[in-house]
Structure 1
Amino acid sequence: MERLQGKPFPAGYNPEVEHVAFTREPLYFAHRLLIFYVVVKCAQLMGHGFLLLAGHRRYVTPTHNLTYWHRPCQQEEGSIKQPPLLFFHGISPGIWFYIPFLTRLGRGREIILLEVPHIVTQLSFEAPDRIETVQSLAEIFALHSISKCAVAGHSFGSIIAGWAATAFPQHVKQLVLIDPVCLLLCLPDVAVNFLYRSPPTNLFHRTLKDFIDPSSEITVSHALRRHFWWYQNICWLQDVSCPLVVALSSEDDIVPSTAIHYYVQRHYRMQEAVKHEKEDDAGEMTDQSNASGSGRLIYWRGIGHGQMLVSLKAQDRLIAAICKQAVESGLATRAEDIKNSGQKNLRRSRVTAA
Structure 2
Amino acid sequence: MAQDPAETPYAPPSRRSFSYYLVLLVLVAPLWCFVPLSWVWVIYVLRSGWIWSFSWPARLCFAVSLCEVIFSVYHYHLVRYVSNSVRHAHVNFSELQSAFHRVLKAGLADLPEDGYDEETLNVSRPGSPEETIVKLEADDHRAIEFRNTLRTWFGKVQWSVVRKHEVRQWLYWSIFNTDLPPLSELSESHRTVLDDTMQLLEKRLGQEIPEGSCPDARPMRLSVDPVHILWRPFVLYASVAVANFYLKNWHWKKRGFQSGSYENLEYIIRIPHGWDSTHGSRPLVILHGLGLGLLQYHTFFRQVHKEFKDRPILIVLQPHISQDIFHPRFLQPMSRRETSKRLAHLIHALGWSRYLEQDGSESEEEKRDSETDRLSGNGVTLLSHSNGSYAHAWMLKDFPHLVTRSCFVDPVTFCSWEGDIARNFLYKTPTTGPELVVRYFVGSELGIANLMHKHFDWSSNALWYEDIPNARDPSKTIFLLGGKDGLLHTERVLKYLHSHGVRKGIWCDPEGLHGQALLTGGEGMKTILEWL
TM surpasses 0.5: yes
- 1:83-98 mapped onto 2 (5 Å cutoff): 83-98=282-297
Candidates 17, 21, 29, aligned match of 2:221:
21
Q: Which residue in 1 is equivalent to 2:96? A: none
Within a 5 Å distance, the mapping from 1:294-333 to structure 2 comes to: 296-313=505-522, 314-320=524-530, 322-323=531-532
Residue of structure 1 in register with 2:399 after alignment: 168
1:9-67 deviation digits (Å, cap 9, x = unpaired): 667754322200121122220011111101111211222122111111111113xx111
For the pair 1:150 / 2:349, whether they are aligned, the reply is no
> Partners in 2 of 1:164 and 1:20 — Cα distance?
28
Of residues 444, 453, 475 in structure 2, which corresponds to 1:216?
444
The SS at the match of 1:83 is: coil
Match of 1:231 among 448, 456, 459: 459
Q: Which residue of 1 aligns with 2:345?
A: 139
Counterpart of 2:334 in structure 1 is 128
Match of 2:245 among 45, 52, 68: 45
Any idea what SS the aligned residue of 1:128 has? coil
Deviates more, 1:66-75 or 1:159-168: 66-75
Structure 1 stretches of 5 or more lacking a match? 270-293, 324-354
- Tell whether 2:279 aligns with 1:111: no
What is the CA-CA distance between 1:311 and the residue it aligns to? Answer: 4.5
1:134/1:164 contact within 8 Å kept? yes
Q: 1:193 to 1:74 in 2, by over 3 A?
A: farther
Q: CA distance change for structure 1 residues 6 and 261 in 2, over 3 Å: closer, same or farther?
A: closer
CA gap 1:199/1:298 in 2 versus in 1, 3 angstroms: closer
Matched residue SS, 1:153: strand
Task: Indicate whether 1:265 and 2:498 are aligned.
Answer: yes
The range that moved more, 183-192 or 167-176, is 167-176
Per the TM alignment, residue 95 of structure 1 is displaced from its structure 2 partner at its CA by 2.2
Distance in 2, matches of 1:43 and 1:7, equals: 55
Distance in 1, Cα, partners of 2:452 & 2:289: 12
Report which of the two structures shows the higher radius of gyration computed on alpha carbons: 2
Q: CA offsets per residue over residues 306-344 of structure 1, 9 Å max, x none?
A: 122325222002222x23xxxxxxxxxxxxxxxxxxxxx
Secondary structure of the 1:183 match is coil
Q: CA 1:9–1:134 in structure 2 vs 1: closer, same or farther (change >3 Å)?
A: closer
Higher alpha-carbon deviation: 17-26 or 220-229: 17-26
Give aligned pairs, total: 288
Structure-2 change in CA distance of 1:264 and 1:210 (3 Å):
closer
User: Which runs of structure 1 show a deviation greater than 6 angstroms over 4 or more consecutive aligned residues?
Assistant: 3-12
**Is 1:165–1:175's contact at 8 Å kept on the other side of the alignment?**
no
Q: Is the 8 A contact 2:407 2:477 kept in 1?
A: yes
Is the contact between residue 396 and residue 468 of structure 2 (CA under 8 Å) also seen in structure 1? yes
**Taking structure 1 as reference, are residues 12 and 174 closer, same or farther at Cα in structure 2, changes over 3 Å only?**
same
Q: 1:146 to 1:200 in 2, by over 3 A?
A: same
Residue 221 of structure 1 aligns to a residue in which SS?
helix
Return the alpha-carbon distance in structure 1 between the equivalents of residues 206 and 333 of structure 2: 48
> Could you tell which deviates more after superposition, 103-112 or 186-195?
103-112
Q: Which moved more, 1:105-114 or 1:178-187?
A: 105-114
Give the unaligned 5+ runs of structure 2.
1-198, 354-378, 471-475
Q: Provide the residue aligned with 2:485 in structure 1.
A: 252
Where 2:268 maps in the other structure, the secondary structure is: strand
3-state DSSP class of the match of 2:416? coil
**Alpha carbons 2:269, 2:314 under 8 Å: kept:** yes
In 2: Cα distance, 1:177 partner to 1:129 partner:
21
Higher alpha-carbon deviation: 3-12 or 128-137? 3-12
CA RMSD, 1 decimal: 2.9
Query: What amino acid is aligned across from residue 112 of structure 1 in structure 2?
Result: L
Structure 2 vs 1, CA of residues 262 and 105 (structure 1 numbering), >3 Å: closer, same or farther? farther
> What is the rounded CA distance, in whole Å, between the counterparts of 1:146 and 1:74 in structure 2?
15
Are the equivalent residues in 2 in contact too, given 1:117–1:126 (CA < 8 A)? no
Q: Aligned match of 1:72 in 271, 282, 300?
A: 271
Structure 2 contact 413–462 (Cα < 8 Å) conserved:
yes
Judge conservation of contact 2:344–2:402 (CA < 8 Å) in 1.
no
Q: Specify whether residues 186 and 43 from structure 1 end up closer, same or farther in structure 2 by C-alpha distance, changes over 3 A only.
A: same
- Tell me whether 302-311 or 226-235 shows the greater mean CA deviation: 302-311
Q: TM-score if structure 2 supplies the norm length?
A: 0.50
Q: Which stretch shows the higher mean deviation, 27-36 or 101-110?
A: 101-110
User: Cα offset for 1:156?
Assistant: 0.4
Structure 2 residue identity aligned to 1:45: F
Contact 2:425–2:439 under 8 Å retained in 1: no
**Offset at 1:102?**
2.1
TM-score, normalised by the number of residues in structure 1: 0.74
> Does the CA contact (< 8 Å) of 2:300 and 2:520 recur in 1?
no
Aligned pair 1:241/2:469, yes or no? yes
Structure 2 Cα separation of the partners of residues 266 and 200 of structure 1: 33
Question: Structure 1's 9 and 16: CA in aligned 2 closer, same or farther, altered over 3 A?
Answer: closer
The answer to whether the Cα contact below 8 Å between 2:414 and 2:463 also exists between their aligned partners in 1 is yes
Q: Shift of residue 225 of structure 1?
A: 0.4
Could you tell me how far apart the structure 1 residues matched to 2:287 and 2:441 are?
A: 21
CA distance in 2, matches of 1:195, 1:97: 21
Aligned AA (1:197): K
**Identity across aligned pairs (percent)?**
24
Question: What code does the residue aligned with 1:308 have?
Answer: A
- CA drift of 1:210 comes to 8.7
